[in-house]
Amino acid sequence: MIRIFSALLAFSAFGLYAADKPNILWISSEDNGPHLGCYGDEYATTPNLDALAKRSLRFTRASSNAPVCAPARTTIIGGIYPPSSGAEHMRSQVNLPDGFK
């Protein structure tokens, strides 16, 4: 019973703490470039993403640090370049630096 109460108390505290932080939703869609209605593509049928884009922050001048998707995503998520994380060769099993274990 004490464990359950402790867990509920901890989750309540997390909820109070999170209320002060911004509400961020990160959507990552690869290999589509600007092929969405919100970016002006007349042939794309993306009404839900277009509605979300109207209420959100869109990037119109972004660049990538890697020419392929997996190393680029790894850099965005981890904050380090692909050679530092071992992601430049797109392997599924790599030895991560000590700070990521």
Residues known to be catalytic: 69
Q: 64 and 72 in contact (C-beta within 8 Å)?
A: yes
Other CB atoms within 10 Å distance of the CB of residue 8: 10
